[in-house]
Amino acid sequence: MIKSMTGFGRGEHSSNGYQITVELKTLNSRYLDITLRTPKSLQDFELKIKEAIQAKLSRGKVHININVEKKDESTTRVAFNSDMVKAYGKMLEEVKFLANIQEPVTIRDILRFEEIFETRNPEEDQLEEIWENAELALSDAISMLNQMRDQEGRELKKDLLNQINGIADMIEEVTLISEKRVPEVREKLHNRINNLVSDDKFDPDRMEMEIAILVDKMDVNEEIIRLQSHLKFFLKALEQDEPVGRRLNFLCQEINRELNTIGSKANDSVISHHIVLGKEKLEQIREQVQNIE
């Protein structure tokens, strides 16, 4: 089953007052190109995020946005360093003794030292839990993304089958026309050569050889066989479960080459018209293939 490279996915998970939202958007790209936008609390997990994407996607430009929200209003927690409080209290007592100060040391004196307070983001205590929920949200987002890419892939497949079958039908018409032309071409060449040579210099064997050479140059049977083979491989690739975008792109190039050769060798207006229609269908195929993973 082929997949489109464009899609969108979203996943959410909540735990212990935190809500984690992951959004994925993918666009066409020759290679897998991942762009991350994560909060500071998850920056250490960026490699794991990329590995999770690489395990599920092989091509495309991937934009990932992860948001972590605290449901309650408090976003920070203020604490004090007990060791620092003891150290400053002891220091003030020593200063008081050395300076012969009679007033007692009060809490106000200790609070003058800002170093005793610590401001910590609550996320720092819950990084693993936040990552576990982010990982679940990421998995849901990837699943939703692939569902959309699968659905678009099915639509692409229908259109590609229609276009490829159209080229196959065109080739059958060209084959019939080409086969009917051989006797006609041979007769025209006979008449033309008979009019150009005199009776005393006429060589039937030489004439037959020249006709055979000219007919062979106009024969497109070999190109038709190769073209039919390319179409067969194209249809087979559409049924593969693995990414086939690059393979289909290569087959488009080969199909185009054979169509050009048939059009130039046939030297027939009717065949040329069919080839033009076939190339129009191929151009639509090439545009669609650019969107396949």
Q: What is the helix (H) or strand (E) element at residue 46, kind and residue range?
A: helix 46-56
| Closest residue by Cα to residue 113 from 89, 79, 77 | 89
Minimal CA–CA distance to 123: which of 50, 66, 80, 81?
A: 66
238 DSSP 8-state letter: T
The first and second tokens of residue 192, run together, are: 């033309």
> Torsion angle, CA of 7/8/13/17, rounded to 10 degrees?
150
Helix (H, G, I), strand (E, B) or coil at 7: strand
C-alpha atoms less than 13 angstroms from C-alpha of 179 in its C-beta half-sphere = 6
Nearest-CA neighbor of 168 among 286, 278, 283?
Answer: 278
275 secondary structure, DSSP code: H
pLDDT score, position 276: 93
**Could you tell me which of 155, 153, 156, 148 has the C-alpha nearest to residue 7?**
148
- Report the distance separating Cα 208 and Cα 198, nearest Å: 16
Low-confidence ranges of the chain (pLDDT < 50): 74
Q: Where do the structural domains in the chain lie, given as residue ranges?
A: 7-73+124-150, 77-120, 151-289
Instruction: Identify the pLDDT of residue 228.
Output: 94
Range list of H helices, 99-220: 107-111, 127-196, 204-218
- Return the CATH number of 7-73+124-150, one of 3.90.25, 3.90.660, 1.10.260, 3.30.230: 3.30.230
CA distances from 139 to 53, 133, 157 (A): 9, 10, 26
pTM above 0.75, yes or no: no
Report the chain's C-alpha Rg in angstroms: 38
Give the tens place of pLDDT for each residue, 187-244: 766 676 666 565 556 566 666 666 666 666 667 888 999 999 999 999 999 998 889 9
DSSP strand pairing (32-37 vs 60-70): parallel
> What pLDDT is attached to residue 95?
83
Q: What is the pLDDT of residue 109?
A: 77
Cβ neighbors of 54 (< 8 A, separation 6 or more) are 32, 34
Are the beta carbons of 76 and 101 closer than 8 angstroms? no
pLDDT of the residue at 221: 82
What digits encode the pLDDT tens for the residues 63-87? 999 999 877 654 556 677 788 888 8
- pLDDT on residue 100: 83
